[in-house]
Structure 1
Amino acid sequence: MKKLSVIFFILGCFSIQAQSYKNFVQKADSCYRAKDFKSSVWYYEKAFKIEHKSSSNLYNAACSAALNSDNKKAFTWLDLAIDNGYENIAHIKIDSDLKPLHEKKEWEKTIDKLQKKLEILGANYDKVLEKELLQIYTEDQEIRGEFMNVYKAPKPDKKKIDSIGKIMNKKDSINLIKVMKILDERGWVGKNVVGTQGNQTLFLVIQHSDLKYQQKYLPMMKDAVKKGNANPGNLAYLEDRVSLREGKRQIYGSQSAKNKATNKWYISPMIDPDNVDKRRAEVGLGPIAEYAAKMNIEWNLENYKKELPELEKLENIK
């Protein structure tokens, strides 16, 4: 009995630590969204004293540190992110959060380290196709970054929003033609052929396309997930978007919308809200409450179920 008590005590400590880590990261993310970068860095430091294995959390922490002019921490956390599996070289180069670091001598060293790591990982990749997809990724995400900066401004400039929106639509059309050619000729190529980011690019371009193209390539992506050539979480996002566009409720709660009357964001209508976290876990997505928090949406399951009929009217759900 004594040995069992010790085991349960140790397991309890691990559980408490894991929860503390999660809470610190959530608070850090919340502070980041509120542009309180100093507090965000403080909470990330607390979290990383417990563990520092998540490449995404380390990367996000580096962004907060860079925006807080804490260059030493930013580079330390970027270095750890790379060591723990961060691979998105196209994104790191265009991320506006990291622009304060570009003029520092450590920046080139960081990019070189990531590049060398990717060269080792991608020794057998289709280099030409990977390069093309990384360029498409840059085109897709760079313009969206510009759009969101204007859209989220305290006083959004409608003319600028419309102007950037037109440019974004044009780029999307060009990128879609390129990606459709790849999909039609080679299928949904996996990360073993074009790397994680190249594979992700296929999803992003289709996710940003018109419904008819999403409907066309959704079965192909489903088949790719079964073969391990696409991310199940990405597929969930595409399935949800298609469902809503077809006038149906979403499955995983990955899509949100803005109520123009109240000016508040909400989770778009979904099936069986009581079991959404179970469905999300099956495809590698976190709890709906965490997603809602990241979107600055107040989440209460019982209130959501009461509001669902009204939300369905807002989005013309059948």
Structure 2
Amino acid sequence: MTAADPLQPDLARDLIDRATKAATHRAARVRNHLDAVLLGQGRHSDHADTKVLRRILAEHGWPGHRLVGPDAARAAWSIALHSDDAPDFQRAATILLERAVQAGDARIDHWAHLHDRALITNGHLQEYGTQLLLNPDGITLCPLRAPESLDERRATVGLPPITVALETVRLRYTVGHLSEDAPTVVLAGAA
């Protein structure tokens, strides 16, 4: 085993597999390519992924770079980020991720995204402008605290200015690719 090998490679593979499947499903949902059955299956998978991550957090704390490697740590972050049906879990995951960041075992920009998502999920204003709404009319920021100092806060967590981030998201999710009846989707995309 080298210094770069994760301590839990099986756990790493499971997290990556779960996050990859969920991302594929979300991409189809954003483009409104899912019927009711597939939407239901995706929700069931999201709940199962949250349950698995909840168990991992209870057993290991945040699955950071040392435990599972950078790719699986990103996968764990993605699962937590999309656990909107479990707001208490999302808040707890944010705390554990923050501790991992402080220990140098996770990325601060991941924490900023999860922090914002937990705030939005719980009906509060986001801090870093990472949470967006995508609908057929375009892309907008979810409600934001103190917009006048947003770029300063973003810089403290390694995020680019909001204008750069929004342009990147607009290029990725061009409105022309969405149908008129596409659902409004919350994106964690203003990196």
Band the TM-score falls in, shorter-chain normalisation = 0.7 to 0.9
Kindly indicate whether residue 161 of structure 2 is the aligned counterpart of residue 287 of structure 1.
yes
TM-superposed deviation, 1:177: 1.5
TM-superposed deviation, 1:121: 6.7
- Could you tell me which runs of 5 or more consecutive residues in structure 1 were left unpaired when the two chains were aligned: 1-118, 152-156, 298-318
Greater percentage in strand = 2
Give the 3-state SS of the residue equivalent to 1:295 in structure 2: helix
Taking structure 1 as reference, are residues 162 and 187 closer, same or farther at Cα in structure 2, changes over 3 Å only? same
Deviation per CA, 1:54-96: give whole Å up to 9, x if none. Answer: xxxxxxxxxxxxxxxxxxxxxxxxxxxxxxxxxxxxxxxxxxx
Kindly indicate whether residue 80 of structure 2 is the aligned counterpart of residue 201 of structure 1.
no
Matches within 5 A, 1:136-285: 136-148=18-30, 150-151=31-32, 160-209=34-83, 210=85, 211-258=87-134, 263-285=137-159
Higher relative contact order (CA 8 A, sep 6+): 2
* Percent of paired sites with the same residue: 25
Deviation per CA, 1:246-296: give whole Å up to 9, x if none. Answer: 222110011112578xx3331122122122111111111111001111232
Once residues 135 and 38 of structure 2 are traced to their aligned partners in structure 1, the CA distance between those partners, rounded to angstroms, is 23
Larger Rg over CA atoms: 1
- Could you tell me which runs of 5 or more consecutive residues in structure 2 were left unpaired when the two chains were aligned: 172-191
TM-superposed deviation, 1:120: 6.3
Once residues 175 and 129 of structure 1 are traced to their aligned partners in structure 2, the CA distance between those partners, rounded to angstroms, is 13
Once residues 146 and 42 of structure 2 are traced to their aligned partners in structure 1, the CA distance between those partners, rounded to angstroms, is 35
Relative to the length of structure 2, the TM-score reads: 0.78
Deviation per CA, 1:151-179: give whole Å up to 9, x if none. Answer: 2xxxxx6xx35333212111111111111
- Give the total of aligned pairs: 169
Moved over 6 A (4+): none
Taking structure 1 as reference, are residues 131 and 247 closer, same or farther at Cα in structure 2, changes over 3 Å only? closer
